[in-house]
Amino acid sequence: MSVIALDVGGTHIKGAVVEGGELVEGAQWSTRAERGPDAVLATVLRCADELVAYAERRGSKPQAAGIVVPGLVDEAGGTAVLAANLGWRDTPVRRRAAEHLDLPVAFGHDVRAGGLAEGRLGAGRGWPDFAFVPVGTGIAAALTIGGRPCAGSRGFAGELGHLVVRPGGEPCACGNRGCLETLASASAIARRYAEASGGTGTAAGPVAAREVVARAVAGEPLAGRIWTEAIEALADGLAALTVLLDVERVVLGGGLAQAGEPFLTPLRGALAERLTFRPAPTLAAAVLGPRAGCLGAALLAQDLLDGADA
């Protein structure tokens, strides 16, 4: 028995066919969101068709599909409430996919799906209370409390990137100022370094966040300042998360987490400094990488089938 999984992002759509819990085929397509919301949804459905066809060629007709998307998500209603990078607003993704595929469809949030996968298969395994925090273009948190995902009353829990850590600071895309994302996301680190250096980059283009980290480790003062400010802001956000939810472990995803100890060591120290009255949670790098969202979507699809069989 197999399921198909789609992780829809603003730049790429990642897909997978999963049989017996094992990923047997992975694929990636360009989202091309500039074409408009209807075209993006049509592309998602076409990608799903390709995955179904692949599974059928293997002699394993998919029994369900899992689709996860970014932004504000109504998981119960199967709707993308607001996915700005896709142009989606109140888009009934689950209904359209189920009608198109004639399959049961599980629908969820991309970060929470990544947290589900890391919790069952990755760095959160065995930790009933943990947060999965991918640090990329934005910052979000998938919360697992008592072994169960926590989506909140409206499904919007975990928008850690929009926690104000520097009141009156830089404008954020959400409309507020001084949000965590404006300082500690990979895109913010690259942007702030470019602005502070007068746009200095490389022959290939602007300096990416991981290069800023490398320059900071090598002792460049400007990169060191930008990196330290990012670490301090992220520690503020994680400290607030810890005080409120008492998580035991924080699993950090995204490209910056793959930098390893230059990222984790200063963050551990800064977080411990802020939690003077209690132990800090353990910090670990995610292990599933860019596959986490797809694997989480597949787990949602499998859970849907398991629930139907119960």
pLDDT in tens, 198-250: 865 554 567 899 899 999 999 999 999 999 999 999 999 999 999 999 999 99
11-46 pLDDT, tens digit per residue, is 899 999 998 878 888 899 999 999 999 999 999 999
> What pTM was estimated for this model as a whole?
0.88
How far apart CA 79 and CA 13 sit, in angstroms, is 18
Domain containing 191: what range? Answer: 125-287
- The overall average pLDDT reported for the chain is 91
**Is the domain of 260 the same as that of 179?**
yes
Pull the structure tokens for residue 186. Answer: 């990979």
Our count of domains for the chain comes to: 2
**Is the domain of 190 the same as that of 222?**
yes
Q: Are 134 and 286 in contact (CB under 8 A)?
A: yes
**Is the domain of 40 the same as that of 108?**
yes
Average pLDDT score over residue span 122-126: 94
**Is the domain of 244 the same as that of 297?**
no
**Is the domain of 237 the same as that of 299?**
no
Is 141 part of any domain?
yes
Count the residues in the chain: 310
Is 156 part of any domain?
yes
Pull the structure tokens for residue 40. Answer: 């993006």
% of the chain at pLDDT higher than 90:
74
**Is the domain of 134 the same as that of 106?**
no
Three-state SS sequence of 257-275:
HHHCHHHHHHHHHHHHHHC
